[in-house]
Amino acid sequence: MTDTVLVTGISGFIGGHISAELLRRGYAVRGSVRSRARTDDVHAAMAASGVDTARLEICQLDLLSDQGWAEALDGCRYVLHVASPFGLAKPKDPDELIRPAVEGATRAVGAALDAGVERIVMTSSLATIQFARAPKEHLYTDADWTDPDGPRLNAYTVSKIKAERAARELVQQRGVPDRLALINPGAVIGPLLTNDPGTSVAAIQQIMSGALPMVPDLRLPWVDVRDIADAHIAAMTSASAAGRRTIVATDPMSLIEVARVIRERLPEASQKVPARAMPTWFTWLASVFEPQLRDNRWLIGQKQRFERTTAETLLGHPLRSIPDAIEQTGRSLAEHQLIST
């Protein structure tokens, strides 16, 4: 009998790649969307990725409502909870991001436990780890926690910390901590399934579109979306992933280096890629006015390191090459006509 997996947030960048890979491996996928209007888009994205959609069904779920969860979980062996509100800009009310993330996590995990699923894999974020106070040259591991009361955190980061903690507390209260596995991705890039680039891919889109006259030395821990998809699927059945967080990210690469990779590998799409690096002092000044720089300015010029052995053991192979992922992201943006050349 084919195992059925509920994937929340199937219309998103990560959820779409996870679902496509599940279908390739012979699983049945029940993907949730917030609006039924996305159903055709999801089927089109799956078909474009080359997978058979005969074992795909779409259901409607809201992170802030109990309606439909029991029915969506009926017959599911695993749950991959990927859906979460996303945004780096500060909303007028932080609870616009925090409340749906926390309630969605507890609702999804609680409903999955009630339904008796074998494993819940939840998408968290490296942001719950990488802003922990630590000495220089510290190797960040799953033992590190970003302080949710830190003065410089944006609402998105706080939402991910509180959602992850809420999910962990719930399985502890139920006495089944091993039923939950957490994946903590870095900045996720890779080939697109739809015309929605997502936040991390949008950084590459901005570079290729000439939106930045100079490139800031902002260093991000990039990761290929296909490694994230593989990690979620491996965590469904791996004993080593049970009850723990798994960092899936590389050591950071600066946007300056990203721009260089694009110029070298995609010269035909590099006409607008800036060649000049933004001085650090000017980057700090620009961060006063640019939300993405402001929310990440403590990463300017920083050289962080992240433990990757756990992820690579879970995957069974080293993390994919980031220069290759940058090139494939750029080609995909061009193919979807999301950059002007």
Per-residue pLDDT tens for 306-318?
999 999 999 999 9
Per-residue pLDDT tens for 315-341?
999 999 999 999 999 999 999 999 875
How high is the mean pLDDT of the chain? 91
CB atoms within 10 A of CB 151: 5
Q: Does residue 256 fall inside a structural domain?
A: no
Q: Does residue 340 fall inside a structural domain?
A: no
**How many domains, in total, are found in the chain?**
1
Q: Does residue 202 fall inside a structural domain?
A: no
Name the active-site residue from 90, 92, 136, 160: 160
Please give the residue range of the domain that contains residue 116: 4-188+222-250+304-320
Nearest to 229 by CA among 308, 127, 158, 315: 315
Total length of the chain: 341
What is the DSSP annotation of 221-240? -EEEHHHHHHHHHHHHH-GG
Per-residue pLDDT tens for 136-180?
889 999 999 999 998 778 888 999 999 999 999 999 999 999 999
For residues 23 and 55, is the Cβ–Cβ distance under 8 A? yes
Give the pLDDT of residue 67. 96
pTM, two decimals, is 0.94
Per-residue pLDDT tens for 83-136?
987 654 456 788 888 999 999 999 999 999 999 999 999 999 999 999 999 898
160 annotated active-site:
yes
Give the pLDDT of residue 38. 87
Q: Is the per-residue pLDDT at 245 higher than 50?
A: yes
Q: Which residue has the higher pLDDT, 225 or 40?
A: 225
Q: Is the per-residue pLDDT at 284 higher than 80?
A: no
Q: Does residue 46 fall inside a structural domain?
A: yes
Which CATH number do you get for residue 147?
A: 3.40.50.720
Residue 52 binned pLDDT confidence (cut-offs 50, 70, 90): very high
Q: Does residue 20 fall inside a structural domain?
A: yes
